[in-house]
Amino acid sequence: MKKLYGTVVPLITPLLDDDSIDTESLCRLCDHVIDGGLQCLYPCGTTGEMMYLSVAERKLVAETVVRYAAGRVPVFVQTGAWNLADTIELSRHAVEIGADGIGVVTPVFYKLSDQGLIDFYKAVASSVPADFPVYLYAIPQNAVNDITPAVAEAVAAECPNVVGIKYSWPDFTRLQQFMLVRNQTFSVLVGPDHLFEAVCAVGGEGVVSGNAMCVPEHYAALWQAIQAKDFDLATKLQRRTNVLNALMCEINNIAAYKVILKDEGVIRTSKVRRPMENLTAEQEKQLLEQLHDLRYREIIL
């Protein structure tokens, strides 16, 4: 079964002024990411404003990305939704459209027991073919629910198609514990960008990074250094991306990504789905000026 690796890009969802999905810009974004040397596409994730999109809109985004990527890179669709029924519907849809796999965020808002999480993932994994890859996805700072290594081990033991986890909390010990799941064959990707190099150095598969959409050349270079096991260079490149990422994530990272991608001509508007907030005109000006100043400067700390 396919697995995610390298720099996995959780695509933003471009919107038109009337709040509908801008599929034309979404296709340009796919080209931008692929041509930028990044490894995998991950539509409808947190960065894609997933919980603010309808099921129909999420299907449209997934279909557009899978069709337009056309096998050039793997596409894993994030299908976790507000309830189990919608999650299963979106997961089966991902299979139907030819996605390479899915990621499934934990249920959100309401706190579940560990057994409740295990039952949830068993239901989703069994709703798709046994050879269709599924990633667990934990982002406890947003979703309330977390995934422990024991929960991951229990799910992996009963669901052969659950191949790994994307973990978006900066707990390096827990990330290493996930790597021991299923006799050390579990695929582990990190959400916090500053841990990209470190996680890969100890056996992880890569990072899921929204920042990478905006500075793909830096992430492409970092992944090349990691693959070459040139960790002196990788550390310098990691520090460089840390500086750029701090700038993009200072206020509202999703709104900032859209401002940058619009400025580069990749998408047509920087509109985000309400109630999310756009940057103010002054914030946009400051962000672009600082990014333009820092992006191509040699920032090696």
From 68, 137, 167, 257, active-site residue: 137
| Cβ neighbours of residue 160 closer than 8 Å, sequence gap 6 or more | 130
Greatest extent of the chain over all pairs of C-alpha atoms, in Å: 52
Catalytic residue (one of 3, 59, 166, 236): 166
Integer Cα distance of 125 and 136 in angstroms: 10
Task: List the one residue out of 80, 75, 81 whose CA is nearest residue 95.
Answer: 75
Cα–Cα distance measured from residue 117 to residue 142, given in angstroms and rounded to the nearest whole number:
16
**CA 167, 191, 165, 44: dihedral to nearest 10 degrees?**
120
CA distance 13 to 22: 8
Angstrom distance (rounded) from CA 10 to CA 43? 6
Q: Are 97 and 67 in contact (CB under 8 A)?
A: yes
Measured CA to CA, the distance from residue 76 to residue 94 in angstroms comes to: 8
H helix or E strand, kind and range, residue 285: helix 281-295
Q: For this structure, is 52 an active site residue? A: no
Annotated catalytic residue 229: no
Residues catalogued as catalytic: 137, 166
